[in-house]
Chains A and B, each alone.
Chain A
């Protein structure tokens, strides 16, 4: 009987911990943070360390300068990558001849590289400053001239309504990440996703021809969904690939 008393205490304490976490959970976020990753277009970000560290010059910390003073922009160069760890700083640019590495304070065609920031570089020539920043990737709008009869139509209003109400989406659909893509685990009957032809067990493989393999891609798509006029979702259903097309108007 004595042992039962200890067991009872053990179970009660065990369950108390569970209840405590339930209360704490109430105040914790239930969904992952949506964060749109800006693409800087720095496609040369893969840098070979052995090449980088060959010059051996030390670079002092940068002084913050007033960007408003910058009057012109360098158009003949394309900024591909920046590197700055406080001791060493350089940029990679692309000109007509190809790719060029430029250290801080190095001169290129009379333009002295005076500052390197995370998203731009500043050159100086004849006391005038020039800014060189990453070329922003333009959002590709998917367009298609012909719509077949199987194309489903969604209004932009409905799309925005769901985009701006995150919990409404999760009330009507359940999605989990698997190796191949994103698997639909639940579709509410009569809900928007049901009407759009999605079914439980479908695996979303591609959207507009691009593979959706990670959360970043998924969140990027989610954040830019209202910018599309046409969507093409490739799904795998019962081991067969199917394409569902949507016209957004």
Chain B
């Protein structure tokens, strides 16, 4: 059992450290481009994370969002992406921080937690299995946003199903 633990620990640490984070980002960039989504950023790979600075996201050649900093942690069992200061090409709409998390125990689910200047608490899920997104907005500061949302007992939410 100790032998297995030593081998497993060595493999896991090696797996994180030797992970070609930049090349994996290029691979993701290629895959997203197939869906007309283009991400560009200054990359800074580290031993446990990939840092993206001054990123821009384009959809069909239109700049839909930009972010100042993003940190990608890929631990396979648990993956997390923290993005700071997401700006959209519309005035008065900024997401100060957003966290995407994914665990192997629920591989089809991506959790979203964010804080924006239009809503204090934004939380929801991306269900890859059912291809649906449901995001709740709490403490909405800008009422005009409500027009774009649906409402249930829990509050205002955005829902999309492919």
Chain A positions near chain B (C-beta within 8 angstroms):
5-7, 9-18, 20-22, 24-25, 28-33, 35, 37-38, 40, 42, 45-50, 52-53, 56, 85, 87-88, 118, 177, 214-216
Which of B5-13, B78-86, B95-103, B129-137 sits within the interface?
Answer: B5-13
Instruction: For the complex formed, measure the closest distance between the CB of B22 and the CB atoms of chain A, giving whole angstroms.
Output: 9
Residues of A within 8 A of B147 (CB): 53, 56, 87-88
Most buried by A among B60, B90, B93: B90
Q: Is the interface of B mostly helix, strand, loop or mixed?
A: helix
Q: Cβ of B14 and Cβ of A15 under 8 Å apart?
A: yes
Residues of B within 8 A of A31 (CB): 26
Q: Cβ of B23 and Cβ of A28 under 8 Å apart?
A: yes
Kindly state whether residue B139 has any CB partner on chain A within 8 Å: no
Q: 30 A-B residue contacts at CB 8 Å?
A: A9-B6, A13-B8, A14-B11, A14-B14, A15-B14, A16-B14, A17-B11, A17-B15, A17-B18, A18-B17, A18-B18, A24-B20, A28-B20, A29-B23, A29-B27, A32-B26, A32-B40, A33-B29, A35-B38, A35-B58, A38-B61, A40-B62, A45-B89, A46-B90, A49-B92, A52-B144, A87-B147, A88-B147, A88-B148, A215-B41
In this complex, the interface size class of chain B, counting residues with CB under 8 Å from chain A, is 35 or more
Residues of B within 8 A of A28 (CB): 20, 23-24, 26-27
Q: Cβ of B30 and Cβ of A33 under 8 Å apart?
A: yes
- Chain B: CB-nearest residue to A42: B62
Additional A-B contacts beyond A18-B18, A48-B91 (18; CB < 8 A)? A10-B7, A12-B7, A14-B10, A17-B18, A18-B17, A21-B15, A21-B19, A28-B20, A28-B24, A28-B26, A38-B61, A46-B89, A49-B92, A53-B144, A88-B147, A214-B40, A214-B56, A216-B56
A/B pair count, beta carbons within 8 Å: 125
Instruction: For the complex formed, measure the closest distance between the CB of A168 and the CB atoms of chain B, giving whole angstroms.
Output: 19
Residues of A within 8 A of B128 (CB): none
Residues of B within 8 A of A49 (CB): 90-93, 142, 144
- Chain B: CB-nearest residue to A46: B91
- Chain B: CB-nearest residue to A17: B14
